[in-house]
Amino acid sequence: MSAPTVQEKKKVDLSRLRNIGIVAHIDAGKTTVAERMLYYTGRTHRIGEVDDGNATMDWMDQEQERGITIVSAATSTEWRDHRITLIDTPGHVDFTVEVERSLRVLDGAVALFCGVEGVEPQSEVVWRQAEKYEVPAIAFVNKMDRAGANFERVLEQMEDRLAASPVAAVLPLYKDDEFVGIMDLIDEKAVYYADEDLGRTYHEEPIPEDRLDEFQSLRDRLVQQVCEHDEELFEKYCMDEHIEPGELRSALRKATLAREAVPVFCGSGLKNKGIQRLMDAVVDYLPSPEDLPPVVGIKGEDEEVKRTHTRDEPLAALAFKVVTDRHVGKMVYVRVYSGMLQEGTYVYNAENEKRERVGRLMQMHADHEEKRERLEAGEIGVVVGLSDTTTGDSLCEEEHPIVLENIEFPAPVLSVSVQPSSRADRDKLLNALSRLSDEDPTFTVAYNSETGETVISGMGELHLQVILERLRREFNVSPAVGEPKVAYRETITENSAFEYKHVKQTGGHGEYAHVVLQVEPLPAGSGFEFEDEIKGGDIPKEYIPSVEKGIVEVMAEGIYAHSPIVDLKVRLLEGSHHEVDSSERAFNKCAKKAFREAFTRGKPRLLEPVCSVMVTAPDEYSGAVSSSLSSRRARITSMEQRGERNIQVVNAMVPLAEMFGYSSELRNLTAGRAEFDMRFEHYEPVPRSIADEIVERKREEAEQD
C-alpha cells in the first residue's frame, strides 16, 4: 500500500466542505456555469463550451449531442481553501428521479434562472423537489448579457411563483447597454471582469456615481431584509448604526441555512461574469456537513438510529449512483454520512446483508481521478469493487447496521420489447441491458427464455429512447423495438372443477393419467396455492410435482388473454394411475388440460395494473387536470389545497393503460407548470366492455407468435 498523502493523514475539516448541486430548468445555462466554476478554480485547463459539445461535466457522447445533462456526476474542486463537490443534476422533467437522487445527498443548492425567461415552469418543479429535501439554496440569475434580461423581475417571480424569500446580494452593471459586471451590495464594490482571460481576473472599483442612488436604496433593502433575521443586527439597524459586511454575511448565512432567505446573485456564464462571486457565496452561505442535523436511519425492524456527521462514529454511507465505466468498471458513488470508508476493508451492505470489499476509492475532479485511501464523513466519492451494491443501498459496519432512508424510485410505467437483429447480438444486448439497469433503478429488464422476448421498462418515452440510443452508441447494438405495452393478468371469479383422463394407446407403452382439479379464486395479491388432497396413493407421490408443474406452466402463459394467471388456488381432489402407462410426462399433460378447462369454466376475468397518480398543479389548472384524468378512467380520490401558494393536489387511481402520453398532455394542459408522480399500486379487474377488446387483441397477437 502506498504511503498516505498529507491530505489523507489529517482529518477532513468538515467546515470546509460544501456538497452542492445546481438545480435548473434545461437551457438555463447550468453546464456553462458549472464549467466556469471548474475553470476558475483551476481544475480544468480550458473552458469546454457546451455549444462545441466539449463540456467536461457532460460525460456521455449523447448528452453532448443533445445538449442535456442526464448523468449526475460528483466533481470536486477547491475554492478559498474549501472543497466544493458539485453534483450535476439533470434538468429534464423525464429524469426527475436523477434530480431526486442527487438532492438526497447534497447539502445545498444553487438555483439557476435565466435572466430573460425568469422562473420557468420547470424551475418550479425542481424547486419544489429541493424543498421536499429541505435543502438550503442560493440563486444565480444567469444570462444577464442577453437583451431583455431583468434581474428585478426574476426576484419578483421567485417571490410569487416559488414563495421564496429572495435577498439580492448583487446588482447587474451595464455600460452602454453592455453587461460589464456586478455591484456587490454587501461589500459596496463594483466588480469588472477582464475579457482577455475569460474572466479569470477581475478588478473592483467604487460604485459608479450615476448608480449611487439606486445602489443605496437597494443596499438598504438588503440590510433591512437581513436584519429581520437577526435581533442584534435589527437593533443596530434601528439605531442607524453601521453594519459591517462580515455581520451581514453571517446573519444571511444563518437565515439561508434556516431556509428563511435565498441570497440571489447574477452574472453571465457565457460571458464569464459574476461566477467568482457565486463561488464565494457557495462558501459563505451554503451549509457544510457540520451544519446538518444528524442523519436518521433504521436498525433491525424499526429501531431508529441517528448518526452525527463525524468520522468518529460508525460508518454510514449511501450509494446514490452506479455507473459502469468502460475502463474502471463498476463505479459506485457514495455519500459518507458518518465514520469512514477505507480502501481494502470490508463493509456491510445493510440492504442485501452482504459483506463486500472496498477496492479502490476515488474522488472525481473535472479532469482527473484522485486516488483516496479513505473517504470520511461528509465526503462524496467513488468506490470501485462493490459488485453487489446498487443505487440506494446503505453501507455500514456489520456490528453497527443502519439502513438510511432509501431514495424513493417511481416504478417504470412503459414497456417495449426489444429484439436483437442477429443471434450474435443477443448476448451483447442482454449484457448491455443488465449493465444499464444496474445504473438506473427506474429501468428494468425482463427476459422470457421461452419466447426469447426481452422487455425493457422505464419512466417514459424519452427515458427508453435514451436507453436505446445508449445501446447503439456505447454497446453497438440496435435492436428492433416493439409497441409500448401494459402487463395484464388474469384470474377466475368462481369455483369450478374439471375431471380429465389422459389416455393414449399407440402400440408399445401407452400413456395414462387421471386427475380431478378444483380451482378457487383467492383475494387479490395472494398469488398461487396448490393443495394435494389425494388419499391412499390413487396418484403415486412421485407424480404430484408433475401435476403442480403443469399448472404453473399454464399459469405463466395464461389462457383467457394470454397473460399470467394470478390469485387462485388449485386443489387436486382425486385421480388414478396405471402401473405401466403412467409417467411424469403423462400427469403433466393431463394436469394442463384439466386446469385449462377448469379455469375457463371459472369465469375468467382480466386484471390490469392500476396506479396511484398525484398531480400537483397551480389552482387555475385543477379543472383541466381532473377532467383529463376522468377521461382516462381515473377515480379521483382526493383534491386538496396545499400551502398558501395556491397549489392544488389531485390524487387519483388510474389504469396504467390509460396513462400513455399523459406527461406530454399534462405539460401542454398546464403550460408545463404541473408535476405528477405515478406509482403502481395493485391489479384491478378491467371493466367487461374494455376487457373484451383487449382479450381479442391479445389472442390475435398470440396466434401470430
Q: Which positions lie near ligand GDP, rule CB under 6 A?
A: 24, 26-32, 50-51, 67-69, 91, 142-143, 145-146, 268-271
Nearer to ligand GDP, 113 or 543 (CB): 113
Q: In angstroms, give the least distance from the CB of 285 to ligand GDP.
A: 21
Residue 202 near residue 274 (C-beta atoms within 8 A): no
How many whole angstroms separate alpha carbon 524 and alpha carbon 17?
Answer: 51
Q: In angstroms, give the least distance from the CB of 367 to ligand GDP.
A: 18
Q: In angstroms, give the least distance from the CB of 651 to ligand GDP.
A: 32
CA torsion through residues 395, 98, 674, 31, sign: positive
What are the backbone angles phi and psi of residue 168, rounded to the nearest 5°?
-65, 125
DSSP-assigned beta bridge partners for residue 529: 569
Residue 684 corresponds to which cell in the numbers above? 384491478
Nearest C-alpha neighbor of 77 from the set 273, 363, 376: 363
Residue 100 burial class via C-beta count within 10 angstroms: exposed 0-12, middle 13-18, buried 19 and up: buried
Tell me the CA end-to-end span of the chain in Å, nearest whole number.
59
Nearer to ligand GDP, 88 or 379 (CB): 88
Q: In angstroms, give the least distance from the CB of 112 to ligand GDP.
A: 7
Q: In angstroms, give the least distance from the CB of 33 to ligand GDP.
A: 7
Nearer to ligand GDP, 94 or 490 (CB): 94
Nearer to ligand GDP, 31 or 417 (CB): 31
Residue 569: Cβ within 10 Å count: 16
With H, G, I as helix, E, B as strand and everything else as coil, classify residue 381. strand
For residue 507, what are the contacts with CB-CB under 8 A and spacing of at least 6?
none
Nearer to ligand GDP, 267 or 604 (CB): 267
Residue 521 corresponds to which cell in the numbers above? 379464486
Q: In angstroms, give the least distance from the CB of 198 to ligand GDP.
A: 13
How many whole angstroms separate alpha carbon 234 and alpha carbon 238?
Answer: 6
How many whole angstroms separate alpha carbon 395 and alpha carbon 334?
Answer: 9
Q: In angstroms, give the least distance from the CB of 193 to ligand GDP.
A: 12
Residue 704 corresponds to which cell in the numbers above? 401470430
Nearer to ligand GDP, 48 or 263 (CB): 48
How many whole angstroms separate alpha carbon 38 and alpha carbon 249?
Answer: 24
Q: In angstroms, give the least distance from the CB of 120 to ligand GDP.
A: 11
Q: In angstroms, give the least distance from the CB of 26 to ligand GDP.
A: 5
Nearer to ligand GDP, 122 or 546 (CB): 122
For the chain, give the number of residues.
Answer: 705
Distance of CA 433 to the CA centre of its chain: 18
Q: In angstroms, give the least distance from the CB of 92 to ligand GDP.
A: 9
Nearer to ligand GDP, 112 or 418 (CB): 112
Look-up of cell digits 398525484: 614
Residue 635 corresponds to which cell in the numbers above? 377515480
Nearer to ligand GDP, 51 or 542 (CB): 51
Q: In angstroms, give the least distance from the CB of 304 to ligand GDP.
A: 39
DSSP output for 345-374: -EEEETTTTEEEE--EEEEE-SS-EEEESE
How many whole angstroms separate alpha carbon 106 and alpha carbon 29?
Answer: 20
What are the backbone angles phi and psi of residue 392, rounded to the nearest 5°?
95, -10
Nearest C-alpha neighbor of 16 from the set 253, 245, 291: 291
Q: In angstroms, give the least distance from the CB of 276 to ligand GDP.
A: 15
Nearer to ligand GDP, 200 or 428 (CB): 200
Distance of CA 701 to the CA centre of its chain: 34
Nearer to ligand GDP, 194 or 424 (CB): 194
Look-up of cell digits 493523514: 9
Residue 200 burial class via C-beta count within 10 angstroms: exposed 0-12, middle 13-18, buried 19 and up: middle
Residue 189 corresponds to which cell in the numbers above? 464594490
Q: In angstroms, give the least distance from the CB of 566 to ligand GDP.
A: 44
Nearer to ligand GDP, 179 or 285 (CB): 179
Which residue lies nearest ligand GDP, judged by its C-beta? Answer: 29
Nearer to ligand GDP, 105 or 126 (CB): 126
